[in-house]
Structure 1
Amino acid sequence: MAVFPGTPASYYVVLISKFIGVSLFNGVFYGTLFYLVITLINYLISKTSKQN
């Protein structure tokens, strides 16, 4: 994690790109999880409403 005198810019670019990559991965993961939960809830609601 040392910043060398000659390459501070590329170091920060790598750091930012890693941060963005992790954020995108988390976004996709939680987005998919959230979508599945909502779909399941909608399925259960429609199932119970059809029985009544």
Structure 2
Amino acid sequence: MITITVDTEVLFIIHTLQKAGFEAYIVGGAVRDILLAVDDDSISVTDFDFTTNAK
């Protein structure tokens, strides 16, 4: 199992959208960098992209 730590601001955006009934996910390079950072503490993720079904 992989445990991932994400900034509070990122979680706030996702939870806000989900509480409003929408789906929200982190996508793109942030996901790649988070997965690479599991074994390399020198990788820092600072740019997050989201996808959502909110219109």
| TM-score, length basis structure 2 | 0.27
- Greater percentage in strand: 2
Higher relative CO (CA 8 A, sep ≥ 6), structure 1 or 2? Answer: 2
Largest Rg, 1 or 2 = 1
TM-score by length of 1: 0.28
More helix by share: 1
